[in-house]
């Protein structure tokens, strides 16, 4: 108790230095964070990948898949192309069911329905087809999944018929082997990730999104508990390279051993393999070029992970404790050496045989990492300090602000100090502002506000209605809050606004730490945007430049200027009018997609925006217009 009531605590020489120059220290911490993050791409800060789970035994697997057993890849592919001609916009369910039955698999179909959440009485139906190869050496206790999204010829995405032909050939080969200790599920999904989400929910008997949005239906047949999954997207007979995709829903990543397994077997079968379409083995010996390539690869992973949107169907398995990746084979254009589908088939065979050796779930290797190349990784112990530096700057700002305010009071003893502080603090008003901003965030959640916006503006498209609704509400907050602050709260003391300022800084810092525990990339990029403007704010006398800077980082404004940058990089040739139109349209579409992802899949990127960023931003905005009389010597540097 003596430490808590001693008036000299917090007023030492070192503390005084930090308090007096806290803005400079905060900026220094911000710069150090960025520099440290960029240094992570250097080989000195990353480690060579290795296997933690020796039971995988990837080096002992010798591929036996060939075209001499039963129907060849070309036969399956020819049948698929002929069948697809009659189903330009649909999935040939009857053909797929008969094909699985001809391969002597337990064959089932799965129906699901999407009740579109942003427009009443709008439904979409879909149907998945899957076959189960029962393990001859076990009692259907565990299983492995090989999945492929079916894409009709009219799809805007690259076709997956070659991958489906590879699946048929692999199923035919696996059916003849007797060493399987796990069931193997061959799954063909419809409507991309929607079909996969419905199948996983039905398989596990749960609902991951908002109730009543996705009716996942029921499965007629099940296998054992799923241990791992490989999602296959092969776009051509002649493959240039295999890109290994990792990012899952809400930034989750698969166990690093599964990623290493894919790279190791690709090397063994002489298959060119990449991560984010960068070949780590072809970087070269130039250290400068290697560093910049590693940095761009790591940044691309951070950007992809931060969205919380899976970059393949594999990303929906992670929330169920299932390790999964996507192998995407890109078409070889022009002449030159290419990878055959038979080589890819042997890679898949090797992965399934390695997974068949596992006696327990993946647990020994890393689940949190960044990849600068295909054969190097950065562990969580190295990249988390980057975020800690940014959050530490917020905490230092909060500490310094409170110490500066406390130094106003010249008190004789601890009891009088406690009484004075209580007299100057009006916790009720501060709590009212804080609670009001969070209630506003709750109202704007995807479960509530979007439905009213689309109902009110039902004569326009959904994404435009959402953009107008959220944009209009944001404009009202920006314009009305300063007037309310000046009119209603003119008689309150400066202590209240110092308390509000400290609460805002602490909430932002703690919120960023919590987000980064699940999705480091989202937490770090958000901190890069918000920490610096938050540092420059004060509880009094905020200059017009600070207010404008804080206005730029409003969640709506941030969405628009980020979209503007991406649009300019993708379409630099657009005229100014077309460019601005495309930016506004794309921003509205992002909002609509984020809302639907939240309601269907449980993606919480939108929820973070309205439950954390918007309340904190609004509280800071109120702070900037509060009428205070802070003495000159305590103003921010």
**HSE-up (13 A, CA, CB side) for residue 49:** 22
Amino acid 189: pLDDT: 96
471: helix, strand or coil = helix
| 140 conformational bin, left if phi > 0, alpha if psi -120 to 50, beta if neither | left
Confidence of residue 532 (pLDDT cuts 50, 70, 90): very high
Nearest-angstrom CA–CA distance, 305 and 327 = 17
pLDDT at 12: 66
Of 338-342, 426-430, 531-535, 597-601, which gets the smallest average pLDDT? 426-430
Neighbours of 101 (CB within 10 A): 12
Residue bearing the bigger pLDDT, 128 or 86:
128
User: Could you tell me which residues are beta bridge partners of residue 163?
Assistant: none
Bridge partner list, 132: 106, 185
User: Both tokens of residue 9?
Assistant: 């605590």
Q: 330 and 259 in contact (C-beta within 8 Å)?
A: no
Q: Kindly tell me if the per-residue pLDDT of 502 is higher than 50.
A: yes
- What is the pLDDT at residue 422? 43
Of the candidates 371, 356, 309, the one whose C-alpha atom is nearest the C-alpha of residue 177 is 356
What DSSP string runs through 543-578?
-HHHHHHHHHTSHHHHHHHHHHHHHHHH-TT--HHH
| Beta-carbon contacts of residue 521 (< 8 Å; ≥ 6 apart) | 251, 301, 302, 303, 304, 305, 306
Say what the pLDDT of residue 415 is.
41
Residue 231 pLDDT > 90: yes
Residue span(s) of the chain under CATH 3.40.630.10 come to 73-374
Q: What is the pLDDT of residues 55-91, one digit of tens each?
A: 887 767 677 787 665 568 888 999 999 998 888 888 9
- Per-residue burial over 320-329, b = 16 or more CB atoms within 10 Å of its CB, e = otherwise: bebbbbbbbb
> Minimal CA–CA distance to 378: which of 50, 53, 51, 41?
41
CA–CA distance, 569 with 37 (Å, rounded to integer): 24
- On the question of pLDDT at 541 being above 70, the answer is no
pLDDT for the residue 542: 67
d(CA 171, CA 133): 8
The residue-averaged pLDDT of 318-345 equals 91
pTM metric for this prediction = 0.89
Cα separation, 405 vs 304, in Å, equals: 42
CA distance 57 to 55: 5
User: What pLDDT, on the 0 to 100 scale, is given for residue 540?
Assistant: 60
Q: Are 172 and 70 in contact (CB under 8 A)?
A: yes
Task: Answer yes or no: is pLDDT of 411 > 50.
Answer: no
The pLDDT-based confidence of 105 (bands split at 50, 70, 90) is: very high
Query: Please, what's the b/e burial string for 191-222 (b: 16 or more CB within 10 A of its CB; e: otherwise)?
Result: bbbbbbbbbbbbbbeeebbbeebbbbbebeeb
Phi, psi of 416 (to 5 degrees): -65, -30
What is the DSSP annotation of 583-615?
HHHHHHHHHHHHHHHHHHT---HHHHIIIIIHH
The class of domain 73-374 in CATH terms is alpha beta
CA-based nearest residue to 58, from 348, 436, 405, 381? 348
Q: Where are the alpha helices (DSSP H) in 357-457?
A: 380-406, 414-424, 427-443, 449-456
Nearest-10 Cα torsion for 276, 48, 248, 507: -110
pLDDT in tens, 176-191: 888 899 999 999 999 9
Per-residue pLDDT of 27-45, as tens digits, reads: 999 999 999 999 999 988 9
3-state secondary structure of 248: coil
Mean pLDDT confidence for 103-108: 94
| Segment 256-260 mean pLDDT | 94
Q: Is the pLDDT of residue 116 over 70?
A: yes
Report the residue count for the chain: 637
Query: Stretch 555-567: mean pLDDT, rounded?
Result: 90
List pLDDT tens digits, range 436-449: 889 988 988 888 88
Q: What is the pLDDT of residue 360?
A: 86
By C-alpha distance, which of 425, 569, 562 is closest to 503? 425
* 234-252 per-position pLDDT tens digit: 999 999 999 999 999 999 9
Alpha carbons 101 and 155: distance in angstroms, whole number: 27
Percentage of the chain exceeding pLDDT 70:
88
Neighbours of 453 (CB within 10 A): 24
Is residue 112 pLDDT above 90, yes or no?
yes
Q: How far is CA 542 from CA 30, 210, 255, 532, 553, in A?
A: 21, 42, 47, 14, 16
Tell me: the pLDDT tens digits for 1-35?
344 344 555 556 777 777 777 888 999 999 999 99
pLDDT in tens, 563-620: 898 888 888 888 888 899 999 999 989 999 999 999 999 998 899 999 999 999 998 8
DSSP conformation class of 201: H
Work out the average pLDDT over 209-232: 92
pLDDT at residue 4, as a whole number = 39
- Provide the pairing of β-strand 323-331 with 225-234: parallel
What pLDDT score does 509 carry? 95
Give me the pLDDT at residue 463, please. Answer: 86
Residue 564 structure tokens: 């503007």
pLDDT at 410: 44
In Å, how far are 144, 182, 355 from 139, measured between CA atoms? 14, 8, 17
Question: Rounded to an integer, what distance in angstroms lies between the CA atom of residue 595 and that of residue 606?
Answer: 7
Q: What is the pLDDT of residue 417?
A: 45
CB distance 126 to 111 below 8 Å: yes
Place of tokens 């904190």: 616
| Average pLDDT value over all residues in the chain | 86
φ, ψ of residue 143 to 5 degrees: the values are: -150, 165
Distances (CA, A) of 103 to 206, 293, 520, 619: 31, 45, 44, 63
Query: Is pLDDT above 70 for 546?
Result: yes
- pLDDT at residue 631 is higher than 60: no
Tokens representing 60? 């002992």
């Amino acid at each position: 108790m003596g430490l808590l009531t001693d008036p000299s605590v917090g007023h030492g020489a070192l503390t005084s230095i930090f308090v007096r120059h806290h803005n400079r220290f905060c900026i220094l911490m911000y710069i150090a964070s960025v520099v440290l993050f960029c240094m992570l791409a250097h080989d000195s800060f990353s480690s060579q990948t290795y296997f933690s789970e020796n039971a995988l035994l990837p080096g002992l697997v010798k591929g036996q898949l060939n075209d001499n057993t039963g129907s060849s890849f070309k036969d399956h592919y020819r049948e698929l192309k002929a069948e697809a001609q009659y189903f330009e916009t649909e999935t040939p369910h009857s053909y797929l069911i008969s094909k699985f039955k001809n391969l002597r698999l337990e064959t089932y179909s799965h129906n699901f329905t999407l009740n579109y959440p942003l427009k009443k009485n709008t439904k979409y139906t879909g149907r998945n087809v899957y076959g189960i190869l029962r393990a001859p050496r076990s009692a259907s206790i565990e299983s492995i999944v090989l999945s492929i999204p079916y894409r009709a010829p009219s799809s805007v995405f690259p076709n997956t018929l070659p991958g489906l032909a590879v699946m048929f050939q692999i199923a035919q080969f696996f059916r003849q082997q007797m060493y399987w200790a796990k069931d193997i599920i061959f799954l063909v999904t419809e409507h991309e990730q929607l079909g996969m989400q419905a199948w996983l929910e039905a398989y596990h008997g749960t609902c991951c999104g908002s109730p009543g949005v996705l009716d996942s239906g029921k499965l007629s047949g099940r296998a054992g508990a799923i241990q791992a999954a490989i999602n296959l997207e092969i776009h051509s007979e002649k493959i240039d390279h295999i890109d290994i995709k990792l990012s899952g829903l809400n930034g989750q990543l698969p166990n690093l051993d599964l990623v290493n397994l894919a790279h190791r077997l690709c090397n063994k079968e002489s298959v060119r393999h990449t991560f984010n379409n960068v070949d780590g083995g072809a970087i070269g010996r130039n250290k400068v070029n290697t560093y910049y390539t590693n940095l761009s690869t790591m940044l691309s992973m951070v950007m992809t992970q931060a969205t919380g949107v899976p970059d393949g169907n594999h990303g929906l398995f992670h929330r169920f404790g299932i390790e999964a990746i996507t192998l995407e084979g890109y078409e070889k254009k022009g002449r030159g050496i290419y990878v055959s589908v038979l080589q890819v088939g042997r890679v898949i065979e090797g992965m399934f045989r390695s997974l068949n050796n596992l006696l327990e779930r993946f647990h020994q290797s890393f689940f949190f990492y960044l990849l600068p190349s295909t054969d190097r990784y950065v562990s969580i112990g190295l990249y988390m300090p980057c975020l800690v530096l940014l959050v530490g700057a917020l905490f230092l700002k909060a500490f310094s602000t409170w110490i500066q305010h406390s130094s106003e009071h010249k008190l004789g003893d601890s009891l009088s100090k406690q009484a004075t502080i209580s007299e100057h603090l009006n916790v009720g008003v501060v709590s009212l502002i804080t609670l009001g901003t969070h209630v506003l965030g709750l109202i704007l959640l995807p479960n509530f506000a979007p439905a009213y916006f689309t109902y009110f503006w039902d004569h326009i498209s959904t994404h435009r209605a959402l953009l107008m609704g959220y944009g209009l509400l944001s404009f009202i907050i920006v314009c009305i809050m300063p007037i309310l602050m000046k009119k209603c709260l003119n008689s309150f003391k400066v202590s209240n606004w110092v308390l509000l300022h400290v609460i805002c800084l602490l909430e932002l810092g703690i919120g960023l730490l919590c987000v980064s525990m699940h999705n480091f990339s989202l937490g770090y990029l958000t901190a890069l945007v918000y920490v610096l403007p938050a540092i420059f704010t004060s509880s009094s006398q905020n200059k017009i430049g600070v207010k404008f800077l804080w206005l730029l980082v409003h969640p709506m404004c941030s969405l628009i200027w980020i979209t503007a940058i991406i649009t300019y990089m993708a379409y630099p040739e657009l005229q100014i009018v077309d460019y601005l139109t495309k930016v506004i349209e794309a921003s509205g579409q992002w909002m609509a997609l984020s809302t639907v992802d939240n309601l269907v899949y449980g993606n919480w990127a939108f929820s973070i925006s309205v439950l954390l960023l918007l309340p904190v931003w609004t509280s800071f905005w109120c702070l900037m217009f509060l009428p205070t009389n802070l003495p000159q010597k305590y103003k921010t540097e």
